[in-house]
Structure 1
Amino acid sequence: MEEENKQLDQFTKEIIQEAGLTNPSVDFLANVMAEIAPEKASEKVYKPLISKVGWMLISSLLLVFSFVLTRFSLGFSILGDWDLSSLFVKKYDITFSIPDTYVYCSVFLLIFVIIQIKMIGKQFDKSLRE
């Protein structure tokens, strides 16, 4: 096995010596750079999924919605008779109440955040495919 390797090594050396070295042309580097220059990477411009106007519209709708809920309550609640104060230890006698308006706003905010995350995920996957 070693003898075969030595023969192969000797044969390779002879072939390389016979072929000799070739020198590139004088303007080789300039030619290569001229070919590379037109292939600049395209810059991706950041474009938000929801524009400033969209966020303004969403926030104004939330404000109007919360105003309407606080001023014109119909007297019923989606949450029913849930009392969040029962979750705390009675030892300290901590009681508080959360207005229904804030609960509604929090739920809708959570829905908007989930939608935004899904849209960002789709946009990110789409940009990875390109």
Structure 2
Amino acid sequence: MEEQFNDIKKLVKEAGVENPSVDFLQNVMRNVSVENTSSNKPLVYQPLISRKAWVVIGLIVIGILISLPFLSDGTWALRKFDFPLFSLRDFKNPFSDFRLHATTTYGIIFLAILFTVQITVIKRRIDKIYSI
């Protein structure tokens, strides 16, 4: 066991001890004082998702929720309107045969619960770290 460390001891003796410069302590203390003055600034809270992004996400969710009743009966809501330039009666609803299985529904609900729990835990942790 001692033989393994003989090479390391020999290398350390050959390299020698390096002495710091004369003004090493002053340089370190100067850098410490500069960092202390810059760290006194309060942390500015910046959310991960901006207000504009939340508005866009909200509009998309509201649009989907509003359009679901029109698309669920197998017909397009726009078929009720008659446009003279082109006919919408030829278009087929792509969601007419869409069925959501129970397993998929359970998976989505489970992921939503996990997401909510994760967000609350992360928020508490961040609040604890950055509290003054």
Higher RCO by CA contacts (8 Å cutoff, separation 6 or greater): 1
Same fold per superposition (TM over 0.5) = no
> Larger Rg: 1 or 2?
1
Please classify the TM superposition score into its range, dividing by the shorter chain length. 0.3 to 0.5
TM, length-normalised to structure 1: 0.35
